Structure 1
Amino acid sequence: MPINTFKEDESTRQVLKIHTLLRLFAYMLKYRKEILQVLGLMLVVIAVGTVNPLLLKVSIDDKIAKGDVPGLLGILLLALLLNGISMLCVRERILRMSRVSNLVLMEIRQELYVHIQRLSFNFFDNRPVGKILSRVIGDVNSLKDILTNSVVTLLPDLATVVVVLGVMLALNYRLAVAALAMLPFLVLGMANVEIRAHKKWQTFRQKNSNLSAFTHEDFSGIRVVQGYTAEEKTSRTFGVLQQEVKDSFIAASRLNDLFWPMVEISWGVGTILVFVLGVGMLDSGEVTVGLLVAFTTYIAMFWQPIMNLSNFYNQLVTNLAGAERIFEILDLKPDLQDGPEAEELPEIRGEVEFEGVDFSYDGREQVLEEVHFHVRPGETVALVGPTGAGKTTIVNLIGRFYDVDKGTIRIDGRDIRTVTMESLRRQMGIMTQDNFLFSGTVEENIRYGKLDATREEVEEAAKAVHAHGFIQELPQGYGTLVNERGTGLSGGQRQLIAFARTMIARPRLLVLDEATSSIDTSTERMVQEGIARLLEGRTAFVVAHRLSTIQKAHRILFVDGKNILEDGSHRELMDRQGRYYDLYMSQFKWM
């Protein structure tokens, strides 16, 4: 899969909108009790709204015409009581429906977050983080209006339209037909606008995602941006992307803005037709003044829900693209999954075997071909070779972060595809050159390797890698707060904390990928002693460019040309004077 950068739009999967809506509304089923309560409150509001014009008709035709003041006051008091109850019901229904919609949004966001965490590295390799964030945050937030108004607007207003239509037909079917004369034209016009507007809103979501991706990338690399004085260039790029968001929003909004004028024109034409026809019917005595006044009120009661429904339809067209993007991610199946018969991997002894392993990241260009090697329990194996030779790929395959294209990887004689990934990775300690620290305390970052570790275990791990001394000198010691990525600490300090985090888990299989790349020579000497103790009794794979760090490894594998070219101890490989010898001498000839 090609990498999707901020410079290109994400592809959008085309699905039936009704399927997306039904899937979205399915999240509300667990809250059906609360929704039924909201609908009950809405029925009270609808009933009061329907009765109001009838009270007006009776007041005009019976009470005012006959001068019945006490009767008129009675109707007034009844109207005040009913409308007071209606106002309380409206307030309560808003509160309850807002709570339900927020709970549904939290559930969708949590489900999306958990699902994304389970996706394989390929998913993250091919997408900027900013585009993933735009789905978890922006697209989920866009669903709030749809969820809330589906109950608060859609169902009540549909019910209102049906009830009012029935009353209008019962009062006078000829006036009712005149009031609805423009309805067929309105439906056709809205359908035509929706088809074009939905595509425009999809484009807007894509452009907004591009902007999020660039912003995240730019701020993540702000040291590079400022170091190379590239602020002006990145500002121009940001401006271009922002303009694309603006243009796509305006293009979509222009189509959406056609909804209300179409409804208002239909409403106005229907009202005019009713008055023209109704005045003539007054002369013939077919209708009364009170009936005509009540009917015009019912026209407003009919078209106002139509206006609300068009607004909901507008929101639906606007935000449905967000739901489609969310479900597109949720429907992605992880490239790597436990097989139906996968078993728990027992405690690892540490035997690792590659048998005829082929691998490529994109399915075309091979990174490894016919790789064979066997590592005995407790051995420390160093992987060396030129950049891009496949050293990190080998250790990623051991943890089954990718699956081999061909061949088999065994741990303690068991194909790693036949055991659960959790039971495999739980027994591995992996430390990469990207010593990522999370925002929080030093202690929390170390405990990340073993969430139930005690303070004593945290300190023991820190002491083992010689991090305890500098940690105690920090302002709050182990309680010192560090920012995301550990800014404020030196590279060596971040590396030592990451070491402690890895070691606290006491892994049976250890992977150190350029683990000492950020440590200076004096710090390295301290760390090597701690590493040596922790490697005892464990199988370890060490990826290193600095060859001074791996001379004591039991074996050294020289990786190049998609395969293992040399295998032996440091002394053995130096005696052969092959590729490893040349690499070693090239590093030390100026020393």
Structure 2
Amino acid sequence: MNYLEESEIKDKQFDIKIMKRLLGYAKPYALLLVLSFLAIILATGVDLARPYIIKVTVDNYIAASDEPMTAFTDMPENLPYTHFNDLYFVRINDLEGAEGEYQILSRENAHYLIEGVIPRNSPFEIREGYIAFENQEYSYILLSQDEYLQFRENDFTGVRNMSLLLFLVLVGGFFFNYMQVYLLSYTGQRVIHSMRNELYSHVLNLPLKFFNKNPVGRLVTRVTNDMENLNELYTSVIVSFFKDIFLLLGIIIMMLSLSTEVSLVVFITLPIVVFASMMFRKKARAAYREVRRKLAVINSSLSENISGMGIIQIFAQEDRKYEEFFKINSEHKEASLRELFVFAIFRPTIDLIYYFALALLIWYGGGAVIRGSIQFGVLFAFISYLDQFFQPISDLSEKFNIMQSAMASSERIFELLDEKDGLEDSENVKEPFEFKGEVEFKNVWFSYDDEQWVLEDVSFKIEKGQTVAFVGATGSGKTTIISLIARLYEIQKGDILIDKVSIKDIPVKYLRKNVASVLQDVFLFTGDMRSNIRLNNAEISDEKVEEVSRFVNAHHFISKLKDGYNSLVEEGGSTLSSGERQLLAFARALAFDPKILILDEATSNIDTQTEVLIQEAIEKVIKGRTTIVVAHRLSTIQHSDNIIVMHKGKIREMGRHDELLKQKGLYHNLYLLQYKE
């Protein structure tokens, strides 16, 4: 199953197994996570404290001028008081030794001190010498502005102290928010760094069979885009998820503690919010999946067309390819618009529910304030908490998008990590021994797809230091044999021996360290000439690089470059000719001084004059080294110690050049096709 086929994206919601596995990567940073969650709790506490501090400031100080007071003839200890008319007024009721109840009433900038208490927000009449309320008469003292401010001096002090407390709380909130964002982002980056390294290391050790079936573009997407989606999950969704949970629970507790009745009125809208969120999640999942599928098609089309741009332009297919892309892009646009509609309607819907809840709150809570059953500061706190309550719900669309994307990315990443490398050494692995270079195939059967045999019962032996050539028609199995020697694929039957030891018993890295290949299609890395020859192996000196370059006659063109061996190689070596790239590949192979040298059509892209120079160099370097040659040019293998003729996955002929010509078989026919004149 090609699980990297993104055009078949499946729905992926929250998966507890995947989340546990993701959190497993965060175990080394458990202390940082604990600190970040502690910071989240403290930051949430700050968010909950802000409205409450303002509520206390409003009710206890700003709007507290008509709060009932008691009076003492003696100065009270440890209580804020106002000294007036030989009495000490304290804004606390039912204290022992109190001299009655008092209250300040205000109307049109006039302030009256009465003996008695009238319910807040109740209508009263001011008459000559007394204030009337419900058939009761209260004597009063008309306070001057200075006297009124004297009574409110403690309120000024309280407002100042509460303002300072609010400022300190906000500063603390800034610090806690900074800490939780920084710590979680830092932890997320460390986790993603570890996961990306593990994923890339795993990919490096996957067999070639895997890469034959999975496009490069999609593998790159795993290491880049999918990892970035996980980064968003760690640094955005997880942070907001826990903070939102704490915040919503805290708001519910604070609302209920302030007023149960008002809270129940506000909570009437919760079923509507839950229903709207469920509908959004259902619709958004389908729309999101469709957009991702269309985007995957766009990416695949771009990757394929850009890679084949040369063919497109040679055959003048620009217009047709543009029409194909225009159609794909239009389908993506339509899917994006459908997704946009779903996301665009959700937030206004939540906003509408919020305003409905706000209207209910103002209607019921405002009436409660007028009746005097709750204070104005409580209503203000409810409005603030209501806004905080709906904010996480409004952000649900973005969080859901990130979470679903991260879950899908996580599944694909873990599926890639769970892909077996296919190169399991046996229990009898030999410690690195002296590598000599004897190669033997014993009844080897091999198939790329486990269905059609590419090699059938192949057996041969190459002695140390011999040069053996493989010839045959395309598809006869020549290149497959040299791939199997380096254990790039696993055989199904038989055995391959190096120095009489099964290659399964030889550590893969040690085996490949002693086998070097020069292929027909040379791949060069971005860098300079020197790094491409020694592949950044510090053990290979500059002198060694220049020596092998001279051996294969690559030095003559490298030295003519502006910066010599420091000259930059563009991606894929596009600025070099095929012959020059082939010469660099020869130098690269010889720089590692392998015991087994494999040449797969290594001279096919080199002109005749350069080929003569290469042949001279090869004659020098193959001495004492086992050399395996795959060639169509029979002139390059005439002096081989042994020539093996392949046909449809089987060995048909074997012998030296002259011997095979005398047999007048397949080799003789191939020779006549090339040199019939």
Q: Match for residue 21 of structure 2? A: 23
| Aligned with 1:146 (options 224, 233, 236) | 233
Query: In the TM superposition, what is the alpha-carbon distance from 1:554 to its structure 2 partner?
Result: 0.8
Aligned length: 588
| Aligned with 2:392 (options 296, 301, 305) | 305
Letter of the structure 1 residue corresponding to residue 622 of structure 2: L
- Please give the residue correspondences for 1:403-442 in structure 2 after superposition, counting only pairs within 5 Å: 403-442=490-529
Query: In the TM superposition, what is the alpha-carbon distance from 1:526 to its structure 2 partner?
Result: 0.4
Query: In the TM superposition, what is the alpha-carbon distance from 1:551 to its structure 2 partner?
Result: 0.8
Query: In the TM superposition, what is the alpha-carbon distance from 1:428 to its structure 2 partner?
Result: 0.4
Q: Match for residue 577 of structure 1? A: 664
Identity %: 35
Q: Hey, what's the Cα distance between the residues in 2 that align with 1:175 and 1:84? A: 31
| Aligned with 1:59 (options 57, 60, 73) | 57
Mean Cα displacement is larger for which, 199-208 or 365-374? 199-208
Q: Hey, what's the Cα distance between the residues in 1 that align with 2:619 and 2:294? A: 51
- Please give the residue correspondences for 1:445-460 in structure 2 after superposition, counting only pairs within 5 Å: 445-448=532-535, 450-460=537-547
Q: Hey, what's the Cα distance between the residues in 2 that align with 1:212 and 1:239? A: 13
Query: In the TM superposition, what is the alpha-carbon distance from 1:278 to its structure 2 partner?
Result: 2.5
Query: In the TM superposition, what is the alpha-carbon distance from 1:16 to its structure 2 partner?
Result: 6.3
Q: 1:205 to 1:413 in 2, by over 3 A?
A: farther
Q: Match for residue 578 of structure 2? A: 491
Q: 1:22 to 1:193 in 2, by over 3 A?
A: farther
Q: Hey, what's the Cα distance between the residues in 2 that align with 1:74 and 1:458? A: 77
* Alignment check: 8 A CA contact 1:461 1:504 kept: yes
Encode CA deviations 1:252-302: one digit per residue, 9 max, x unaligned.
Answer: 444444543453344333333333332443455432222222222222222
Q: 1:171 to 1:341 in 2, by over 3 A?
A: farther
Mean Cα displacement is larger for which, 25-34 or 252-261? 252-261
- Please give the residue correspondences for 1:103-118 in structure 2 after superposition, counting only pairs within 5 Å: 103-118=190-205
Structure 2 residue matching 1:167: 3-state secondary structure = helix
* Alignment check: 8 A CA contact 1:383 1:557 kept: yes
- Please give the residue correspondences for 1:327-346 in structure 2 after superposition, counting only pairs within 5 Å: 327-346=414-433
Letter of the structure 1 residue corresponding to residue 54 of structure 2: L
Mean Cα displacement is larger for which, 541-550 or 66-75? 66-75
- Please give the residue correspondences for 1:363-402 in structure 2 after superposition, counting only pairs within 5 Å: 363-402=450-489
Mean Cα displacement is larger for which, 328-337 or 215-224? 215-224
Mean Cα displacement is larger for which, 78-87 or 450-459? 78-87
- Structure with the higher fraction of residues in strand conformation: 2
Q: Match for residue 209 of structure 2? A: 122
Q: Hey, what's the Cα distance between the residues in 2 that align with 1:119 and 1:247? A: 38
Q: Match for residue 232 of structure 1? A: 319
Q: 1:2 to 1:315 in 2, by over 3 A?
A: closer
Q: 1:200 to 1:502 in 2, by over 3 A?
A: farther
Q: Gapped runs of 5+ residues in structure 2?
A: 66-151
| Aligned with 2:563 (options 476, 482, 486) | 476
Mean Cα displacement is larger for which, 372-381 or 388-397? 372-381
| Aligned with 1:520 (options 607, 613, 633) | 607
Query: In the TM superposition, what is the alpha-carbon distance from 1:248 to its structure 2 partner?
Result: 4.0
Q: Match for residue 625 of structure 2? A: 538
Structure 1 residue matching 2:25: 3-state secondary structure = helix
| Aligned with 1:505 (options 582, 592, 595) | 592
Q: Hey, what's the Cα distance between the residues in 2 that align with 1:507 and 1:3? A: 38
* Alignment check: 8 A CA contact 2:484 2:490 kept: yes
Letter of the structure 1 residue corresponding to residue 656 of structure 2: S
* Alignment check: 8 A CA contact 2:2 2:214 kept: no
Q: 1:32 to 1:265 in 2, by over 3 A?
A: farther
Q: Match for residue 216 of structure 1? A: 303
Letter of the structure 2 residue corresponding to residue 156 of structure 1: K
Q: Gapped runs of 5+ residues in structure 1?
A: none
* Alignment check: 8 A CA contact 1:465 1:531 kept: yes
* Alignment check: 8 A CA contact 1:356 1:406 kept: yes
Q: Match for residue 135 of structure 1? A: 222
* Alignment check: 8 A CA contact 1:466 1:527 kept: yes
Encode CA deviations 1:443-491: one digit per residue, 9 max, x unaligned.
Answer: 0000118442111111111112111122111111111111111111111
Q: What is the TM-score with the length of structure 1 in the denominator?
A: 0.92
Letter of the structure 2 residue corresponding to residue 534 of structure 1: V
Q: 1:510 to 1:248 in 2, by over 3 A?
A: farther
Q: What is the TM-score with the length of structure 2 in the denominator?
A: 0.81
* Alignment check: 8 A CA contact 1:134 1:209 kept: no
Q: Hey, what's the Cα distance between the residues in 2 that align with 1:488 and 1:383? A: 32
Larger radius of gyration: 2
Query: In the TM superposition, what is the alpha-carbon distance from 1:3 to its structure 2 partner?
Result: 11
- RMSD over aligned Cα atoms: 2.6
Query: In the TM superposition, what is the alpha-carbon distance from 1:25 to its structure 2 partner?
Result: 3.0
- Please give the residue correspondences for 1:196-215 in structure 2 after superposition, counting only pairs within 5 Å: 197-198=284-285, 200-215=287-302
Query: In the TM superposition, what is the alpha-carbon distance from 1:327 to its structure 2 partner?
Result: 1.8
Letter of the structure 2 residue corresponding to residue 50 of structure 1: L
Q: Hey, what's the Cα distance between the residues in 1 that align with 2:336 and 2:277? A: 19
